[in-house]
Amino acid sequence: MSKNVADALWELLQAAGVRRCYGIVGDALNPTIDALRRNGSVEFIHVRHEEYGGFAAVADAYLTNDPVAICGTAGPGVTHLINAMIDARKEGAPIIVIAGVVAVAQVSGTLDPVVRVNAPILRPADPDLRRLAAMIDAAERVTIFGGDGCRNAHDDLVALATKLKAPVGYAFRGKQYLEYDNPNAVGMSGLIGYGGAHLAMHEADLLLLLGTDFPFSEFLPDHSVKKVQIDREPEHLGRRTPIDLGLVGNIEDTVAALLPLVTERIRPNISIARSRRRANGTDRSPTTSSAAQRSRPFVPSIWSPRSIGSPPTTPSSASIRGRRASGPPATCARAPSAASSVRSPGHRWKVQRRTRWVRNWHLPDAKRSL
């Protein structure tokens, strides 16, 4: 049997590494799906809605870094794939959309093409790396803040943080890659941040922004802290905050090349200890006194639940019965003042009666009479 265009399409996709295709069959896609059946090397995953299949394909491609196909038939079926295409563009996920629509010449609009470089090694040039190493060695306190671009760089980043004695904070999408097995991790910053990442960034002399397009610029330090941003996407550099140096490269390749160039530090970075104390609510340094805290605007990400304190709890019946069995307290809740010592005995009797009623508030009304 001779091959047709659909057979050649699936052979091409199979050679490119496609192993799965999500979508719904029907109408204009029938010849294409029939060729997929004949190919036998690409698994077809049927979904109930094209948009679900589109997002599933994006997640599959993002997690495996392999190209994944998604198909939709004519009419509204293809329009349901647009959100997934935008999501894939944002995530950098390699998906291939097969649209069973009319001729391209009759389509009024298209998405702008996006070209991404998938080089085996992508890092800055050696002069740029030496400049970065000189900035790191000249800074007394260095803080690392990472995002989704650190997904394959955990070991190298932990080694760099250990060598520099640098605290490591992370954005929401960098938490899963930088928090575990990291003795220098100090928490997350942002609207749902926690721990001491905010403090570590603002007390640093140099902030390394690695693989993050952190959108909450109000949580980043101002121009008093030097910033270096490294990202594989050039359009991310300097988009959220002014930077002193911007470099293009994969984080794993860049950090691996940077490690031998920086000088190992002996003295521990005090920001790590302070950030951890801030995380567990035990920071008693002068800069975090009550007066200083009241004078600064409230920033949610620098507080942890333990530092805020728990709400008052109602005593249990067992604890109240235990206090009743041991006898009344030696004094009332408030110590007697000089003014209360000259009040009438009737007044003291009313205070005692009120105090006894508070101690017996949990009893039924019949037993609460005094």
187 and 102 within one domain = no
Contact (CB, 8 A) for 318 and 343: no
How many angstroms separate the CA atoms of 61 and 319, rounded? Answer: 57
Q: What is the pLDDT of residue 167?
A: 93
Identify the residue with better confidence: 297 or 13: 13
148 occurs within a structural domain? yes
Q: What is the pLDDT of residue 302?
A: 41
| Structure-token match 């004519």, residue found | 74
239 occurs within a structural domain? yes
Identify the residue with better confidence: 16 or 319: 16
333-349 tens-digit pLDDT: 444 444 444 455 555 55
Q: Which domain holds residue 16?
A: 5-106
Residues whose CB falls within 8 Å of the CB of residue 306, separated by 6 or more in sequence, listed in order: 279, 280, 281
pTM more than 0.75:
no
Q: What is the pLDDT of residue 336?
A: 46
163 and 66 within one domain = no
Q: What is the pLDDT of residue 121?
A: 81
> Number of folded domains in the chain?
3
> What's the gap between Cα 119 and its chain centre?
27
266 and 181 within one domain = yes
136 and 271 within one domain = yes
Q: What is the mean pLDDT of residues 110-136?
A: 80
132 occurs within a structural domain? yes
119 occurs within a structural domain? no
249 and 168 within one domain = yes
140 and 209 within one domain = yes
130-181 tens-digit pLDDT: 999 999 999 999 999 999 999 889 999 999 999 999 999 999 989 999 999 9
Q: What is the mean pLDDT of residues 303-324?
A: 44
CATH code, domain carrying 82: 3.40.50.970
24 occurs within a structural domain? yes
Identify the residue with better confidence: 353 or 35: 35
CATH code, domain carrying 274: 3.40.50.1220
The strand ranges marked E within the chain are: 20-23, 43-46, 68-72, 95-99, 142-146, 168-170, 185-188, 194-195, 206-210, 226-231, 245-248
230-277 tens-digit pLDDT: 999 898 999 999 999 999 999 999 999 999 999 998 876 666 666 666
Question: At which of 272, 306, 340 does a domain end?
Answer: 306
